Amino acid sequence: MHFLRDKGFDHAHRCEITPRATYERRRELLKLLGCGVAGAAMASWAARDAHAQTARPGKLAALSGARSAVSGGATMEKPSAYVDATGYNNFYEFGTDKGDPAQNAHTLKTRPWTVAIEGEVKKPKVYDIDELLKLAPMEERIYRLRCVEGWSMVIPWVGYSLAELIRKVEPTGSAKYVEFVTLADPKTMPFVGSGVLDWPYAEGLRLDEAMHPLTLLAFGMYGEVLPNQNGAPVRAVVPWKYGFKSGKSIVKIRFTAKQPTTSWVKSAAQEYGFYSNVNPEVDHPRWSQATERRIGEDGIFAKKRPTLMFNGYGPQVASLYAGMDLKKNF
């Protein structure tokens, strides 16, 4: 097993962590399915099985939006089941097993909540979450979201283009990047302080990426406010990039002249580049990115889907990277 070593901590890579429920059920699964069962498939089964008893829409406050008119804002693919989208997550502040966020994120307090706008802007401000909710009309965006681990979902998000907020705060001529800083509260996030990453979690985009109409500031999904495990009360969603670019539970948006050092670049730059565009020609150092498995369609013998360039959003976003080497800038 490969381990990353970060500031004296030995920690398993995100794809190498066996969910606890999976470990406990492994013998049972092997008896049922025979030898050679993929660990990822068992993880998916165990995580959803543990969550399925309580996960359903209609439990959280309603939050709806008009159907998006943005090009690429509504894939025709069938949305993933709510139980999958809310029960199979990466949110390391609440644990590294895929089922941990659904089990542990009830401790997160989403009120009061503020988001500070800082850095290279003419109008810095601290927004209350309810003020942000009213800043622009809500839309429903049905996006594919792909994880660097090789799995994907289709999720109906509710929010508005991040560009709406950016225009309000008026970036200066020096602003070239946007950094997202997320909550790191050890009182409500039990895994903050672990050696998995340096906290708080930070991600970033180039300013023109952040201004693209597909880049979403999301407050809800499936017609309701975001569940805690999905990044409540506000998160970013960047559909043509790997999922780790979409910071959850954002508390600060900072505009900078220099490229920010993001959490995963700091931890493993050779595996998680700053751009992180979905490029099937750039394999992860330890597995292929040529195919993906759609959660909910991941039976043991289910055929994987081919990974699409820019996760299928090339017609909308490819021009942002004209002239760039997308094997080097991954």
CA distance 213 to 90: 25
- pLDDT, position 252: 98
Which of 123, 140, 124, 99 lies closest to 229 in space, CA to CA? 99
- pLDDT, position 26: 39
- pLDDT, position 297: 86
Which of 236, 219, 168, 210 lies closest to 317 in space, CA to CA? 210
Residues of the chain short of pLDDT 70, as ranges, are 1-55, 298-300
Q: What 3-state DSSP class applies to 306? A: strand
Alpha helices in 273-313 (DSSP H): none
> Within 10 Å of residue 130's Cβ, how many Cβ atoms?
11
Amino acid (one-letter) located at 13? H
- pLDDT, position 52: 53
Sort strands 66-67 and 139-146 into parallel, antiparallel or unpaired.
parallel
As a residue count, the chain comes to 330
- pLDDT, position 46: 53
Cα separations in angstroms, 106 against 60, 94, 102, 119, 192: 13, 10, 8, 32, 15
CA angle 227, 158, 235 (to 5 degrees): 60
- pLDDT, position 57: 76
Supply the CATH classification number for the domain 12-321.
3.90.420.10
Amino acid (one-letter) located at 205? L
Alpha helices in the chain (DSSP H): 20-33, 39-51, 82-87, 100-104, 129-133, 162-169, 207-211, 263-268, 314-317
Residue 275 makes CB contacts below 8 A (sequence gap 6+) with: 241, 321, 324, 326, 329, 330
Q: What are phi and psi of 263, to 5 degrees?
A: -60, -45
